[in-house]
Structure 1
């Protein structure tokens, strides 16, 4: 019995050792055995067939679901509405093809237009390179393989198309293609650079830009402590460049913990909404047990981790936070000045001239730049110094490096096993049996699994890099997105291209050096390791994987068109997750377009295709086909589905241009390595080819410098001198003298309305029985006057106060109003899904003058002037239209009533009747009475309140709980 036992143990050890040897061998050459042919055809079939099927489903579903497939058509104003499209199956194709670039600028904005131009550029580049590349490389590669002694691997058609084995004079074909590709890329880059410059100049001259405040405002950061006043800001910008006009300035005030308070308030409101939505999901039968929650960590009233009644606690917590927010807002003007501020000129030319003069360094060690749109600013990063930003950038780079190193192991395993399932069979005998039984099935898995898993991982990377860029000190959201795109592209190229493709060669080289070092000295082992030759062979082996990956991206483009994720998530959440009314409204809002992610994919596709074109020319037509398909599909999505959340005015272009220069030089280096690696007769054979290729990187760098010298200033500045001032309208310059920079560029937490808990109207009658707080409906004004209120009247007993009918401090939303259409002008929804309000005809940054007694802030809130008896900080000169300093909204002073919201349908627009001589006509007017109670406006800020314009001399202030909240629009 002992002998068989020992034999079985010995076989087990041998089997284990064999698997280990196989694993080590695979690390050295993971693509030694492959099923590339079947994987390619399965990927091609999946891509073409799946894309066609999804496109057909989209064509039939589109006419019946405009919420998902045409939200822009539902919500945009006349100016920004896309071309009308019929209900036919293919009616969407015609407007996509016929809509020209100028119309795109008006409909979708400059950022989206430049994105489509970039997609078209990639399509044109790879169409041209495909024609030339296939004509040159395919005959050379096929002839070399078939004229040589064909090995077993060489009988594979895909191996015959690779550069493996191409030597001698035939490598001059690769050099010729490299030169033609560089010239082609340079031509299209120059042509598009010129077109982008033309679009930017038209953007500068557009009415929207001319009337916006940010276009003539400067952001000044790192201000010395002694100059942190409005007068100090004037001294700084005047010292930088005296334009002959005095700018209106606003030094920032320390908001301290106000952003955190408002963030906690919004989170608490959402938590309460979720609790009520779940608890009241079935109004007929409520759960027997009331919901509970843990107390907030910052709440010192309760024990840490104590469980309390969720509805009562969260409602009380909201009230407490709102009182704290009110107190902080009232005391802002007493707080210390910050190290940043804004200076606004009457003329756009003045502001751009100063910005151009100080583009490298500002006076007093300050940094002066053109101000972003107010909605674009990342306010928490403005106080950071350049040293702090440099240190945070260094820390971010360390985190990116750590993430890169951590991803090496799973990336290598995907490269070894998932991209070639035969390798997995060598170390997993049970799987080897299944692979032998069903080779075609597993070929399909191989063609789909590895690319899908790789794409899934990179789906989450933008959110990670976005957080890192926030902490690094980016001043605007658009600059943050550009940095995210840069980090994504760098990560993709290093991890997904370099390490993935060359891991086998690097491992094989290390293994060979270690093996030889036992027999000879280390330097000889390093020289004879043949790293370059192993690397070229690895690129030839992995080339088919990249073809299948690019083919799968065609399927991804079709999935984007179908909006499958949004459609599935919306349906799932509505039926299974008890969404709150707020979440239902957000689900119907147009989704934002992820420029950083899509640009990164386009750049990475271009890098893969251009680099592997010299290894496997079949990658060129695959890439060209993808760009042809996606250039039209993305055009439909940008016209009818997506919005640009924050418009940068086309500032992505320079980053894209630089990345394209880099990937072109990278491909030049690769073709040089192919020439060297495929040479067997020494440097005398490859040196002439490398010398011929050497001027290409120099040519591309010189081309980059030439384009930057000729176009960059035109892209960035309206003018570099004062010559453009004469072209501006003098009447427009006169109205700009009364702009209040402190209001328009004030921190949003100072005036942004606080959100109100939303509850479904079908559960309204249940609130008095589950909520023990105040239930009087005090928000409905009597006879149109905002300072007179009465309790809600009972429907059953006229003249009596309603019992059980009135509302708690909630906003009730009926089922037919849970749509973004009714709330697109509300700041809390518009900021997230409204494209800064421009899409709906309410641009936040537009200079829109009313009477002197009013001013609309960037979110549409009305701010009124102050009487001296209210502690106003305005001087008489300011009231006469010559503003010299900062004018803050009421939240900066001791008048909390200004924090209340105003209806967008109120008398703001009707007050735009004043002129310079009649600017005081309405400043002291009280609201007019009406015969009835104004109707609620679910898309606005609540009931229409004509009396909410401040009346000077009214010393009594309502300090009740609801006075500091916006109107609820109760029914």
Structure 2
């Protein structure tokens, strides 16, 4: 053994010692965290049922209300574990059941693979390591002898006693695990389809509500040949009206019963979004100030910084913006135009299905069955095809940019994830690491995995935002695209970039050592070290899975909701479950576990621990805490099947690379056809899966209902046109102080009526829409820098005058205008949007009224005036 061999062996012994020592510490700390989380949850659950069982207390219907749990510490465990699938299906809905079913499927896969690996292939790995290095047996404490990297490995290169027949073990294991995953996924898919058909049949036995029945035979159609026309009209009772041109277009292909087109205003979505943000800011500032005011009558009013120099009273600032936006929204609700899409109604579901097939064949018409009303993203409905295509490409470019930028911290994390990389790059650091093994081991075991968790905290929101900006029409489609982006991000950065950087850093350090020592060894002799570096990445994933296993239980504590409750903020409804985030989480762990299941089998028990904990915790959260926003009938399953097939391909490619670097040529040729076989089997079954989950399974004959136009207006009313604007929520014990806050404000009555009066019933509100839209806003002149820093609604900030002007100069004005006061429809210290009508000119205010006055004067009086 020369100097190079002894150096590599010394580095490897140090790495094995640190890995084993701190893996045992990791397991102990993880078990401690798990026990602590279960204890805290069992203690808090009976005390705060509104947080840990909100569906029991806040469910609006008994159909989805779960059975109440006992008050004992551990009374929640047995009902969650023993709950039947039928009960689970009725409680959480079919989409929620699909999530639990998919998690159980992955758990079953990991369990079977772990059993095979621990009983068959792990002993073969140990025997192969013994035969390779029988002169140094038993090996030094570590995990290296349990992985395939110990086969024929000696001092960074192939052993002189290499036996290539040992490589048939990982080759056969790869083929067996591939077959297990394919068979289990096909079997699970068939079982799910049967369950779905039973669920649909049971739902169809009960009579549908009128709105559900109408939706089942209605199509959403968009015709490129129809151009929306601008109409300035007063608010109508029905915003969705028949459209002759669209009916003629559809009738030429598949005659329909009705063709209806809605109305919209593209400005409303941005205005309402800004209004909601302003109302939320106002609510927060009001709540803080009223709380202080209830304790101290001289409480200081909050301020908001408008720019680097000016500040203003926060309550007045947000109040005036909210009032101005309220009036602007009401005006824009009176200025509507035809939508780019329409609803086409057929007499029966079977007729609607036949028309759906016929309309799909025409490129000028895009058709789909109507989604659930709460699933629609209304702001994306009226985007034209060209703009939609540009948004899609922009989203793809933005996603690619984020993946590229995120690769930089991931690469840095890969360098820090293995201490041996520091020693290889900086040999002088070995003494420091020897002296601080405890600190360095904790750094490797906890800091880098926790940093990986932190890197992914905001990632689901970023991907959801990108998908939403790509003009998809429904929330479920956005969630599916978000899931695809999250998983692709995981594959590119966490699997490819992370593994490649880890491998390359290790081999670069070893090449540098060869150059420093002036060795005559060829660099190609150390290709086997690259394969070992690839398998060593599994140590990081073991640490990562341990931390996330404890995190799965800490998620049960619902710390954000508990904090909000302690702040006396009332929970009005159960939170909505985020499918994209949680699907990507379980899929990423399954991919990492499967990818290293053969190369480093020790990762399998840790993956099994995570899936056992995740299945139980997700079942509790879906049953008692979270609700699903919409129901799709399990249409996410084909996407999940495709992702599992992709993870199988990643696993096979990793094994092919490892065997090629270990020079197992015969075994390599045996594995190369495996990805192609997987693709063929996956593609054939995915076609069958789509046919089995086709919309045709929902069709059946039914009788048409009456007054379909009115019902469609009720079901598919655009919230931007019909939904009342949100109002700041004030606790009841502080409501009496609101009048004290605005008592000196010039628009006191307007503010109280607009922002703090509950909306009228719909029947009453429809009687006076025009009056509300024509109400005026009194906005003061721009204050000076001294005036803008006042902390209350004093008289010199808001002029005590009731004079106002019309927002539209061409309309006759009945109010007197003071020439010394200038009015503007927006608050000067905080301008809103460009949509607001500009202030009247001198001609509008002075010249035009004088001309009108002269024209109405008697002829003799005019002559006398001249």
TM-score normalised to structure 2 length: 0.76
The match for 2:283 among 256, 273, 296 is 273
Bigger mean CA deviation after superposition, 271-280 or 152-161: 152-161
Aligned-pair CA distance for 1:899: 14
The match for 1:37 among 12, 20, 23 is 20
The match for 1:472 among 467, 470, 473 is 470
Q: Does 1:285 find its partner at 2:296?
A: yes
Check the 8 A contact 1:209/1:215 in 2, yes or no: no
Aligned-pair CA distance for 1:602: 1.1
In structure 1, distance between residues paired with 2:354 and 2:744: 58
The match for 2:183 among 187, 190, 205 is 187
Change (3 A) 1:770 1:254: closer
The match for 1:544 among 532, 539, 544 is 539
In structure 2, distance between residues paired with 1:114 and 1:220: 30
Aligned-pair CA distance for 1:755: 1.5
Q: Which residue of structure 1 lines up, in the alignment, with residue 823 of structure 2?
A: none
Q: Which residue of structure 2 lines up, in the alignment, with residue 234 of structure 1?
A: 247
Unaligned runs of 5+ in 1: 1-24, 298-303, 518-524, 680-684, 780-805, 814-825, 827-859, 865-888, 901-971
Aligned-pair CA distance for 1:549: 1.5
The match for 1:752 among 718, 723, 726 is 723
Change (3 A) 1:353 1:48: farther
Check the 8 A contact 1:485/1:600 in 2, yes or no: yes
Q: Which residue of structure 2 lines up, in the alignment, with residue 869 of structure 1?
A: none
Aligned-pair CA distance for 1:320: 2.3
Change (3 A) 1:812 1:861: closer
Q: Which residue of structure 2 lines up, in the alignment, with residue 829 of structure 1?
A: none
Alignment of structure 1 residues 388-537 onto 2, 5 Å: 388-420=387-419, 423=422, 433=432, 436=434, 439-440=437-438, 442-507=440-505, 533-537=528-532
Q: Does 1:627 find its partner at 2:611?
A: yes
In structure 2, distance between residues paired with 1:192 and 1:247: 41
Q: Which residue of structure 2 lines up, in the alignment, with residue 339 of structure 1?
A: 340
The match for 1:707 among 660, 680, 685 is 685
- CA-to-aligned-CA distance 1:439-493 (integer Å, 9 cap, x gap): 3354334322111110111111011111111111211111111111111111111
Alignment of structure 1 residues 573-592 onto 2, 5 Å: 574=567, 584-585=569-570, 587=571, 589-592=573-576
In structure 2, distance between residues paired with 1:209 and 1:470: 35
In structure 2, distance between residues paired with 1:530 and 1:352: 65
Secondary structure, counterpart of 1:734 in structure 2: coil
Aligned-pair CA distance for 1:589: 3.6
In structure 1, distance between residues paired with 2:435 and 2:375: 58
- CA-to-aligned-CA distance 1:36-55 (integer Å, 9 cap, x gap): 11221122112222112211
Q: Which residue of structure 2 lines up, in the alignment, with residue 674 of structure 1?
A: 658
- CA-to-aligned-CA distance 1:316-369 (integer Å, 9 cap, x gap): 33222222222222232xx3x23222223343333333334444x435x12111
TM-score normalised to structure 1 length: 0.69
Alignment of structure 1 residues 74-473 onto 2, 5 Å: 74-76=57-59, 77-149=61-133, 155-166=140-151, 167-205=163-201, 206=203, 210-211=208-209, 212=212, 213-221=214-222, 223-225=224-226, 230-242=243-255, 246-282=256-292, 283-287=294-298, 289-293=300-304, 307-332=311-336, 335=337, 337-359=338-360, 361-363=361-363, 365-420=364-419, 423=422, 433=432, 436=434, 439-440=437-438, 442-473=440-471
Aligned-pair CA distance for 1:107: 1.0
Q: Does 1:62 find its partner at 2:45?
A: yes
Check the 8 A contact 1:344/1:741 in 2, yes or no: no
Check the 8 A contact 2:223/2:366 in 1, yes or no: yes
In structure 1, distance between residues paired with 2:35 and 2:476: 35
Check the 8 A contact 1:890/1:899 in 2, yes or no: no
Q: Which residue of structure 2 lines up, in the alignment, with residue 660 of structure 1?
A: 644
In structure 1, distance between residues paired with 2:119 and 2:662: 21
The match for 1:686 among 656, 665, 674 is 665
The match for 2:737 among 766, 789, 802 is 766
Aligned-pair CA distance for 1:240: 4.1
Bigger mean CA deviation after superposition, 669-678 or 487-496: 669-678
Check the 8 A contact 2:13/2:140 in 1, yes or no: no
In structure 2, distance between residues paired with 1:637 and 1:528: 54
Q: Which residue of structure 2 lines up, in the alignment, with residue 566 of structure 1?
A: 561
Check the 8 A contact 1:421/1:442 in 2, yes or no: no
In structure 2, distance between residues paired with 1:42 and 1:108: 39
In structure 2, distance between residues paired with 1:777 and 1:130: 70
In structure 1, distance between residues paired with 2:717 and 2:744: 35
In structure 2, distance between residues paired with 1:513 and 1:615: 24
Alignment of structure 1 residues 780-859 onto 2, 5 Å: 811=756
Change (3 A) 1:542 1:711: closer
Change (3 A) 1:769 1:456: same
In structure 2, distance between residues paired with 1:258 and 1:345: 31
Secondary structure, counterpart of 2:262 in structure 1: strand
- CA-to-aligned-CA distance 1:602-647 (integer Å, 9 cap, x gap): 1111111111011111111221222122111110110001111333
In structure 1, distance between residues paired with 2:467 and 2:615: 29
In structure 2, distance between residues paired with 1:169 and 1:862: 80
In structure 2, distance between residues paired with 1:428 and 1:466: 45
Q: Which residue of structure 2 lines up, in the alignment, with residue 73 of structure 1?
A: 56
Aligned-pair CA distance for 1:563: 2.2
Check the 8 A contact 1:451/1:552 in 2, yes or no: yes
Secondary structure, counterpart of 2:696 in structure 1: coil
Change (3 A) 1:185 1:253: same
- CA-to-aligned-CA distance 1:364-410 (integer Å, 9 cap, x gap): x1211122212111222223344433333332232222222222332
Change (3 A) 1:196 1:628: same
Q: Which residue of structure 1 lines up, in the alignment, with residue 622 of structure 2?
A: 638
In structure 2, distance between residues paired with 1:430 and 1:703: 51
